[in-house]
Amino acid sequence: MENHEFEKATAFIIVKIIEYVPNSVFIKTIIKKTTGNVTAVSVDTGEALNEKIIPFDTFVQIIDGKAEMVIDGVSNFLETGQSIIIPAHTSNSIIANERFKMISTIIKSGYE
């Protein structure tokens, strides 16, 4: 995982800054602050982000492919251009039935 922010005031195409890695989940940090962070993630077919519970709301937008988001045991199938908010304190996992790329934004302010 890369922990450096992107250069500010420089344009880029989000879907092109992260590549697919065979049999892997690849994460690239766009912005990392104490109040939250923005990451780009690519997930190859058959891979998953393990179930977790975090104390913050998380906004997820699919920027390429299709993903299965499981929130409190309920599957949501998202495709390119679709988004979902994962509520704070809920169990969630993300499954790649086919490969996909997403942007994940976590907002930490307002929660203890």
Can you tell me the distance from the alpha carbon of 39 to that of 61, in angstroms, rounded to the nearest whole number?
Answer: 11
- Of 41, 47, 75, 44, which is closest to residue 61 (Cα–Cα)? 41
Residue 2's pLDDT is 46
Q: Which residues, in sequence order, are CB contacts of 80 under 8 Å at separation 6+?
A: 62, 63, 64, 65, 66
The mean pLDDT of 6-16, rounded to a whole number, is: 89
Residue 6's pLDDT is 76
Does residue 81 sit in helix, strand or coil? coil
| Residue 7 pLDDT > 90 | no
The 10s digit of each residue's pLDDT in 87-106 is 999 999 999 999 999 999 99
Q: Which residues, in sequence order, are CB contacts of 106 under 8 Å at separation 6+?
A: 36, 37, 54, 56, 57, 58, 59
Please tell me whether the overall predicted TM-score, pTM, comes out greater than 0.85 for this model.
yes
Maximum Cα–Cα distance across the chain: 40
The 10s digit of each residue's pLDDT in 30-74 is 999 999 999 999 999 999 999 999 999 999 999 999 999 999 999
